[in-house]
Structure 1
Amino acid sequence: MRLTRRTRLRSRLRRSASAGLCAAALAVVATPPGTAAGATASERPRTGRHLIGRHLIGWHLTATGSDARFRGLAAVSRGTAWAAGSKGTVLRTVDGGRDWRNVSPPGAGELEFRDVEAFDARRAVVLAIGEGEASRVFRTEDGGATWTESFRNTDPRAFYDCMTFFDRWHGLAMSDPVDGKFRILATDDGGGSWTVLPSDGMPPAQAGEAGFAASGQCLVSSGPRDVWLATGGAATARVLHSLDRGRTWTVADSTIPAGDPAKGVFAVAFRDRTHGLAVGGDYRADQASPRAAAVSRDGGRTWTQPQRPPTAYRSGVTWLPAFRAAAIAVGPTGSDLTVDAGRTWHTFGTGSFDTVDCTQDLACWASGEKGRIARLSR
């Protein structure tokens, strides 16, 4: 039977992993200086890195025309992606990043968007974070030409961090603990309206425990009902799991260090309802993060330390579709690749990114400070 391109890539990855190419070279493919805002000398072509199959991978910066920090990112397809960030900024591309259009909600300049969930080129939901009324949700059905504010937090004790959708209709958002428990907001109409779920099934939070609104990945879902919530800031960095769309939760300790408001699990990603990755560490630039990742093979019930974790704090992580054992993690000091489901990680770029997302048609995007949005080249 004739192999498709995706099948060939998958078979090459398996061959490279079995042959031990994790110790081989990788080359970074980058935009030449001056072609995209935010490009640095550290991203110019260099050698001595790593291969995935026969493909050299690296980030190709795109020109956004913005200096916002984009911690929210939704990859829809090879052509379409959305980014949400500081100063109330929302960008959208429908041509693979050649052109980014500013589709920000009018009057949102004082808001901090930290998460965006998009269903196609026209429909998207964005989350603004902050105490009290600073936490809001906006929704568009016409590619950002118009927006509707569908939720505004009126509880001064709540601070919403992240959101996730199971499908185009059903989604959740999470707030830092209120009355000793994380608060969950739910929608069943694509973000048009939201309801606070009962807290009876939520375990008590630790003293000082919270989510990190760093990448839009402190709350993630896989499949029609499973959702995970990542925490930090307390004595133990934990991952909570719900099997019923946020009604009831179980909790597990991760291996990522905590014990400080700046430490913990910043992002999680699940390939399916069983295989998960967590990344984080200490976000302070002058502090080391020697155990910045964890791996789960049982749906988040237990977490183990990688043999070779990323060398620094990482705020975003995603699996690469079609490659069952491959994933990418990003942070302010660089990007890392694993081809063995998180057991070992290898740095392949030093540019700064906050979050990363991939699509089923093998398009991966990363975004971060100073208007930086990049697409993975191979």
Structure 2
Amino acid sequence: MTLSIHRRDLVLGAAALAATPAFAQDGLGGIRMPASVIDSELRGLSPTGGKRYWTSGSKGWLIRGRDERQDVMRIVGAETLDFRGLHAFDDSHVLAMSAGPGEASQLWRTKDGGKTWKRIAANQDPEGFWDSIAFVDSKRGFILGDPTKGRFTVLYTADGGETWARLKDEGVPPAAPNEGAFAASNGCVAIGPRGQVAFCSGGAGKARVYVSRGGGGVFVATDTPILADAPSKGAFAVAYDKHGVLWVCGGDYQKPKADGVNLARMEPGRVSFEAVAAPTGYLSGISVKGSTVMATGLAGTIVSRKGGPFQRVSAAPMNTVRLSSEKSAVLCGPKGAIGLWRA
């Protein structure tokens, strides 16, 4: 689903920019925000090692970043697409997924660091809408799409994204009326240890997380404590830690500062989620590395380190976060915003 307005919905250059720090707290660090270089709603984000990362967004824009430096590019022939999903295999090899109704959902690939791009897939279902892309390794990956024919669309590839097939109906439980996923942060699909796969949803009462413990063959739906009693409410992103703990975050994107459960977790071997105490506000993205958990959204960014309580480290609105280590992360958000967190 599209976000912000409703649920479905520069020349190539480089800049080394001065950064503006957000407030910092002892042991939790702070977020530096370089000046924006494009007017794009950034949601796709993929670190590639060290201080390097890729991010993507609306109007066909992408950024290849190295710390504060941002190399900006636009895919020729894709200027109208909204690239909400992104997976970088390395700094040169990247898949960019657009989200939109019907053929507005597309997949593009570069193998030369963005010099050339090739469209390799497009949604052929006029009722379909792609939400997120995630890979297990260099070959196996998933695309999650909104329900069609009464069930979520779960596409699978075993050749690095060249070809895709929809999982059989018996592997995905029926969706509830008005249930869907949110293309808010490319975070509604998560890959866990030992091939576990999970995706989350909203809009149909209680937010749900669908979990496959066997590599994506059969998914089982589990309720979360996050409310989803309106089209703007629900679970927006999921993430596993290395031990198999499954985290989920969400809220109401139309009321980003509203009270209510916005964070929950499920321990390995359990079949239910428990709410986690956290500062209030809508969260659209979550990431886990070691003992660090960071979540972000239009209400700002929160972090827990070494099992400590969640605290807010920035009030700046963001869409997506990816931890590159326990002490560093990249974030992206509205109007070309980039955030660089260091503990």
Give the TM-score normalised by the residue count of structure 1.
0.82
Rounded Cα–Cα distance in structure 2 between residues aligned with 1:35 and 1:123: 28
**In the TM superposition, what are the counterparts of 1:179-258 in structure 2 within 5 Å?**
179-223=149-193, 225-258=195-228
Question: Structure 1, residues 167-212: CA drift from partner, whole Å, max 9, x if none?
Answer: 1111000111111111111111212222222121111111110000
Rounded Cα–Cα distance in structure 1 between residues aligned with 2:260 and 2:44: 26
Task: Calculate the aligned-residue CA RMSD, in Å.
Answer: 2.0
Q: 1:144 to 1:300 in 2, by over 3 A?
A: farther
2:314 counterpart letter in structure 1: G
Indicate whether 1:372 and 2:333 are aligned: no
Which portions of structure 1, spanning 4 or more consecutive aligned residues, are displaced by more than 6 angstroms? none
Contact 1:211 1:266 in 2 (8 A): yes
The residue that corresponds to 2:67 in the other structure is 97
SS at match of 1:256: strand
Q: 1:122 to 1:280 in 2, by over 3 A?
A: same
| Structure 1 unaligned spans of 5+ | 1-33
SS at match of 1:87: helix
Structure with max Cα Rg: 1
Deviation at 1:64, TM superposition (A): 4.7
Q: 1:162 to 1:99 in 2, by over 3 A?
A: same
2:315 counterpart letter in structure 1: T
Rounded Cα–Cα distance in structure 2 between residues aligned with 1:252 and 1:210: 15
* Counterpart selection for 1:67 from 20, 24, 39: 39
2:125 counterpart letter in structure 1: D
Range that drifts further, 84-93 or 282-291? 282-291
Q: 1:234 to 1:149 in 2, by over 3 A?
A: same
Indicate whether 1:281 and 2:256 are aligned: no
| Structure 2 unaligned spans of 5+ | 1-16
SS at match of 2:59: coil
Matched residues, number: 327
Rounded Cα–Cα distance in structure 2 between residues aligned with 1:166 and 1:198: 19
The residue that corresponds to 2:312 in the other structure is 347
SS at match of 1:51: coil
Q: 1:339 to 1:360 in 2, by over 3 A?
A: closer
**In the TM superposition, what are the counterparts of 1:18-33 in structure 2 within 5 Å?**
none
**In the TM superposition, what are the counterparts of 1:167-182 in structure 2 within 5 Å?**
167-182=137-152
Rounded Cα–Cα distance in structure 1 between residues aligned with 2:270 and 2:305: 20
Give the TM-score normalised by the residue count of structure 2.
0.90
SS at match of 1:130: coil
Contact 2:134 2:189 in 1 (8 A): yes
SS at match of 2:178: coil
Question: Structure 1, residues 51-97: CA drift from partner, whole Å, max 9, x if none?
Answer: 32xxx51111134511211111001212320001010111112xx32
The residue that corresponds to 1:260 in the other structure is 230
Contact 2:18 2:68 in 1 (8 A): no
The residue that corresponds to 1:57 in the other structure is 29
